[in-house]
Amino acid sequence: MADKKKVTANPAKRAGSPKQLEKKAYEKELRRLQVELVQLEEWIRHHNLRVVVVFEGRDTAGKGGVIKRITALLNPRFCRVVALTAPTERERTEWYFQRYVAHLPSAGEMVLFDRSWYNRAGVERVMGFCTDEEYKEFKRACPEFERMLVRSGIILIKYWLSVSDDEQERRFRARIKDPSKRWKLSPMDLQARARWVDYSEAKDKMFKFSDIKEAPWHVVETDNKRAAHLNLITHFLKQIPYSDVPHEESFKLPSRQKRKYSRPPKASMRMVPVRYEVV
């Protein structure tokens, strides 16, 4: 009798395995998720929720890219992105969390932090921009600060975007070659590359004291940027229960005014030259 052939299941078709998407399918799924984000934003506004989303990770991990995908269709009046520069001399004398508190959301708002107070546990710690005592105080204060935010009613969600050393190297070199991306490179970014192990150690220590029950860290692998966009947005949508908000107002267009009015000719205006026509 012939030996029975061993049948190996296709890993891509196992229950719970990731979906394999081509670019066109990715764009279609991204659009669907972005429409869901609009519904979530309306829910946040309707119920006066306050939402804070923190995005952290190594340089080139894709924080800016995923934030752009999240905000693409959202109303900027109710969804704000906060990306602070280095603190001023005045801000260095303030309570450490003070300049971040100024950007927290009011009722019906969502704020996305492209880097946050965790600078103290990352770049400041590794590069020596804070003292040992300041770092120790941050370790004590940070969990309590976040618990205080949650107790006040703020929904706090934290993402760590994880990129491998090989992929970070590739992205750094791509930025050097691409004039449109060179602005993303700074001396600090290059130091971060040189101190890969120091940053890894700092991140692991940060997780130990800040991965709290009230505001846990969610790690997203980002070597595949498109997959990261879909994975993170899908996860985010599940963090806040929502449904369609009823629209009581009518969307029927009102009749346009029929009052006579002669508008000035275009020749009297400074018109932008028409140099392109898209067909």
Q: Return the closest-CA partner of residue 199 out of 119, 95, 102, 82.
A: 119
Token pair recorded at residue 80: 């704000």
pLDDT at 251: 72
Decide if 123 is inside a domain. yes
Whether residue 37 contacts residue 73, with contact meaning beta carbons closer than 8 Å, is answered with: yes
pLDDT at 133: 98
* Domain around 228: 22-241
CB 34 within 8 A of CB 91: no
pLDDT of 250 reads 61
* 168 domain-assigned: yes
Structural domain contains residue 145: yes
CA distance 236 to 228: 12
Residue 180 lies in a domain: yes
Report the sign of the C-alpha dihedral through residues 86, 91, 96, 102, in that order.
Answer: negative
| Size (the chain), residues | 279
Q: Is residue 256 part of a domain?
A: no
Give the pLDDT mean for 24-36. Answer: 98
Q: Which of 83-92, 154-163, 226-235, 241-250 has the lowest mean pLDDT?
A: 241-250
pLDDT digits (tens, 9 = 90+) for 240-266: 999 999 876 667 788 888 899 999 999
**Is 254 among the domain residues?**
no
What are the structure tokens assigned to 276, written together? 């392109």
Whether the pTM exceeds 0.85: the reply is: yes
Q: Is residue 8 predicted with pLDDT exceeding 90? A: no
Number of domains in the chain: 1
Q: What are phi and psi of 129, to 5 degrees?
A: -85, -5
Q: What percent of the chain has pLDDT over 70?
A: 93
Per-range mean pLDDT, top range of 134-148, 170-184, 249-263:
134-148
Phi, psi of 130 (to 5 degrees): -135, 155
Q: Which residue is it, tokens 């490179």?
A: 185
CA angle 60, 234, 171 (to 5 degrees): 15
Give the distance, in angstroms, between the CA of residue 47 and the centroid of all CA atoms in the same chain: 22
Mean pLDDT estimate for the chain: 91
pLDDT tens profile 35-82: 999 999 999 999 999 999 999 999 899 999 999 999 999 999 999 999
Q: Is residue 170 part of a domain?
A: yes
Domain containing residue 156: CATH number: 3.40.50.300
Give me the pLDDT at residue 19, please: 83
The pLDDT value recorded for residue 196 is: 86
At 110, give phi and psi (nearest 5°). -130, 135
56, part of any domain: yes
Residue 11, pLDDT > 50, answer: no
Q: How confident is the model at residue 7 (pLDDT cuts 50, 70, 90)?
A: very low
Residue 212 has pLDDT above 50, yes or no: yes
- The mean per-residue pLDDT over the stretch 17-35 comes to 94
Is 5's pLDDT higher than 60? no
pLDDT for 16 equals 64
